[in-house]
């Protein structure tokens, strides 16, 4: 399938959030990406349910919610109520990952698992057939605008091989340091969904930038 773009609103101008959402609605972007940070699992705070609800109110596209928080199981139902279509949790904070994945799916959402840069894809071998999405962090999570970690290409290739061998339908998503310089290489390595924030929202012409990313 053609690669998808998930626009990370963490980098949007929150003083005119509705306008930013409407811009993404009118663009070739496929999803909205919402990073939820708790200041515990990652060294930063972002936003919570009220912002997710406001994005849902105006968005016409899929809400792709990434939980960078401890104890995500406590909030699965609440994020569904807020409007999440896809809910991704981190392997590193889920001692009972299979149970968490099933919990997410029980509320009608797609279930994703994210891996930090240091976490090998091999940890997903026994659950890859149960997940809808695997998000590989290509920077250390917590802040936008970081430099892409080059070892990520080999990691993507290993994950793609596992997905094919296990007969999984999981899509591969990457987040961190993605721009026009590496989009084609990432897609060729096996990436299905590119999370892009600052490169879109800080560009002079976001709509044109998104169009170029889709065609890359």
pLDDT at 145: 62
Q: What is the pLDDT of residue 26?
A: 98
> Quick one: pLDDT at residue 28?
97
Cβ-based neighbour number of residue 190 at 10 Å = 18
Closest CA to 203 of 23, 73, 17: 23
In the Cβ-directed half-sphere of 32, how many Cα atoms lie within 13 Å? 30
Torsional sign, CA 190, 192, 198, 200: positive
* pLDDT confidence tier of residue 77, bands split at 50, 70 and 90: very high
> What is the DSSP annotation of 85-136?
SEEEEEGGG-TTHHHHHHHHHHTT-EEEEEE-TTS-GGGGTTTTTT-SEEEE
- Give dist(CA 13, CA 15) in Å, integer: 5
Q: How confident is the model at residue 144 (pLDDT cuts 50, 70, 90)?
A: low
The pLDDT of residue 154: 97
Q: Which helix (H) or strand (E) holds 84?
A: none
Q: Give the mean pLDDT of the chain.
A: 96
pLDDT, one tens digit per residue, over 118-136 is: 999 999 999 999 999 999 9
Contact call for residues 11 and 35 (beta carbons, < 8 A):
no
pLDDT at 60: 98
- The answer, yes or no, to whether residue 87 has pLDDT greater than 90, is yes
CB 169 within 8 A of CB 132: yes
Say what the pTM is. 0.96
Residue 140 pLDDT more than 90? no
pLDDT digits (tens, 9 = 90+) for 149-167: 999 999 999 999 999 999 9
Going by CATH, does the domain composed of 4-215 fall within 3.40.50.740? no
Tokens of 47: 């936003």
pLDDT of res. 22: 98
Q: Is 150 exposed, middle or buried (0-12, 13-18, 19+ CB in 10 A)?
A: exposed
How many Å apart are CA 146 and CA 177, to the nearest integer? Answer: 6
- Average pLDDT (70-85) is 98
pLDDT digits (tens, 9 = 90+) for 165-205: 999 999 999 999 999 999 999 999 999 999 999 999 999 99
pLDDT over threshold 80, residue 142: no
Query: Where are the domains positioned within the chain?
Result: 4-215
Give CA 22 to chain center in angstroms.
20
Question: Has residue 143 got a pLDDT over 90?
Answer: no
Check residue 38 and report its DSSP letter.
B
List residues with catalytic annotation: 35, 175
């Amino acid at each position: 399938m053609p690669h998808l773009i998930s626009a990370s609103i963490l980098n949007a101008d929150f003083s005119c959030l509705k306008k930013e959402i409407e811009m993404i609605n009118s663009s070739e972007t496929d999803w909205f990406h919402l990073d939820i940070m708790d200041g515990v699992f990652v060294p930063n705070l972002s936003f919570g349910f009220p912002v997710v609800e406001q994005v849902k109110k105006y968005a016409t596209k899929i809400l792709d919610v990434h939980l960078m928080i401890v104890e995500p199981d406590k909030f699965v139902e609440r994020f569904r109520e807020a409007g999440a279509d896809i809910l991704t949790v981190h392997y590193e904070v889920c001692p009972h990952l299979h149970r968490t994945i099933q919990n997410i799916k029980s509320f009608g959402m797609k279930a994703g698992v994210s891996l930090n840069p240091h976490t090998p894809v091999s940890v997903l071998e026994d659950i890859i057939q149960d997940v809808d999405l695997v998000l590989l962090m290509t920077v250390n999570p917590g802040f936008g605008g970081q430099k892409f970690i080059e070892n990520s290409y080999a990691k993507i290739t290993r994950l793609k091989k596992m997905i094919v061998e296990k007969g999984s339908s999981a899509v591969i998503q990457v987040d961190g340091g993605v721009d026009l310089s590496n989009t084609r290489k990432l897609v060729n390595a096996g990436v299905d969904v590119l999370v892009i924030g600052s490169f879109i929202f800080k560009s002079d012409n976001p709509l044109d930038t998104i169009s170029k990313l889709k065609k890359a």
